[in-house]
């Protein structure tokens, strides 16, 4: 990968890693479902200038209802009810393993030994985090974040079924789908009075958070990531996503003063090890087999 593209990958990883701190800050002044409605209403604005992806509408809706609506409705609510930003960035990476399971179930893809080993290691880490979250993390927040990871994974399956598609175009046009469902959820669970009061007295930090989520994390992040995937094999690009929770945990400690217990640190290490085994385990095993011949 060229130095320029390494810099692009670094920008994306930082944009997505800091994203969780930004969500937490945004939630200080805006309730979670309203935050989702505002985020995707802004992210959808470029649809006036970006050509619609050449895919059937059912796949556009499948993506919009899973990755855009389902993932962020569950994530925002989970973080609103007690999921720390740093741990959220880590637990959300369970999507890699949900994707493996769903791909086997719905696409008939084979799960290899390295995938199973990685899944077992990461599951042990998630269990440690879930059981020893302490006062900083609620079980409800943890479970909703796991639910968000499963919705991300379902969106990955929909993306696989689409075939080759322009990622920026897909993200922009899929952003047209969530605002109304998010607004309906906000009306039902947060109520008109809270919506009105939140919008009337929305703090500057929440305004900036919405802009960051819509334009930096969503549009800039996905467009740059799409360019990398277009230039290099997915196997060369995907490992960079392992750095997202590293940046997420570090930025949460720096900006939100989030600490972690010893058991949470151990759990986080196991999750990262499981992710690494999932990504690199197959290649390492092949090298050992080749060297043994």
Q: pLDDT tens for residues 231-272?
A: 877 666 767 777 888 899 999 999 999 887 788 888 888 888
Digit-coded pLDDT (tens) for 82-106: 999 999 999 998 888 888 899 889 9
pLDDT 10s digits, 23-55: 999 999 999 999 999 999 999 999 999 999 999
| Residues 207-240: tens digit of each pLDDT | 999 999 999 998 998 888 888 877 877 666 767 7
Nearest to 152 by CA among 247, 271, 217, 72: 72
Q: Give percent of the chain with pLDDT exceeding 90.
A: 54
Give yes or no for a contact between 173 and 219, defined as CB atoms under 8 angstroms apart. no
Per-residue pLDDT band at 197 (split at 50, 70, 90) = very high
Instruction: Report residue 277 as tokens.
Output: 């085994």
Residue 191: left (phi > 0), alpha (psi -120 to 50), or beta?
left
Residue pair 79/258 in contact by the 8 Å Cβ criterion? no
Q: Which residue segment(s) compose the domain that 83 sits in?
A: 3-292
Whether residue 285 is predicted with pLDDT greater than 80 in this model: the reply is no
pLDDT, tens digit, for every residue of 173-193?
999 999 999 999 999 999 999
Instruction: Return all residues near 84 (Cβ < 8 A) that are at least 6 apart.
Output: 24, 136, 137, 252, 256, 258
Contact in structure between 107 and 157 (CB atoms under 8 Å):
yes
Contacts of 76 (CB under 8 A, 6+ apart): 23, 27, 32, 33, 35, 36
- Residue in this structure with the two tokens 């930090």, named with its chain if needed: 205
Task: Count the domains in the chain.
Answer: 1
Contact at 8 Å (CB) between 226 and 166?
Answer: yes
């Amino acid at each position: 990968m060229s130095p320029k593209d390494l810099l692009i990958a670094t920008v994306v990883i930082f944009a997505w890693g800091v994203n969780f701190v930004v969500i937490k800050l945004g939630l200080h002044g805006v309730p979670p479902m309203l935050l989702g409605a505002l985020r995707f209403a802004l992210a959808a604005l470029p649809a006036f200038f970006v050509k619609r992806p050449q895919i059937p509408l059912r796949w556009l809706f499948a993506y919009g209802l899973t990755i855009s609506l389902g993932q962020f409705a569950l994530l925002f609510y989970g973080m609103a009810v007690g999921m720390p930003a740093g741990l959220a960035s880590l637990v959300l990476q369970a999507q890699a393993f949900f994707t493996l399971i769903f791909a086997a179930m719905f696409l008939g893809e084979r799960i290899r030994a390295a995938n199973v080993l990685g899944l077992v290691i990461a599951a042990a880490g998630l269990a440690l985090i879930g059981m020893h979250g302490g006062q900083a993390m609620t079980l409800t927040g943890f479970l909703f974040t796991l639910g968000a990871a499963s919705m991300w994974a379902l969106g990955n399956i929909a993306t696989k079924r689409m075939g080759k598609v322009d990622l920026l175009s897909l993200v922009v046009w899929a952003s047209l789908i969530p605002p109304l469902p998010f607004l309906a959820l906000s009306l039902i669970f947060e109520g008109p009075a809270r919506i009105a009061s939140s919008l009337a007295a929305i703090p500057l930090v929440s305004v900036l958070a919405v802009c960051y989520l819509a334009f930096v994390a969503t549009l800039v992040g996905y467009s740059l990531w799409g360019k990398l995937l277009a230039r290099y094999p997915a196997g060369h690009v995907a490992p960079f996503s392992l750095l997202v929770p590293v940046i997420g945990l570090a930025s949460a400690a720096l900006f939100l003063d989030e600490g972690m217990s010893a058991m949470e640190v151990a759990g986080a290490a196991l999750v990262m090890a499981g992710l690494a085994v999932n990504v690199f385990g197959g290649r390492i095993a092949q090298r050992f087999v080749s060297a043994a011949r």
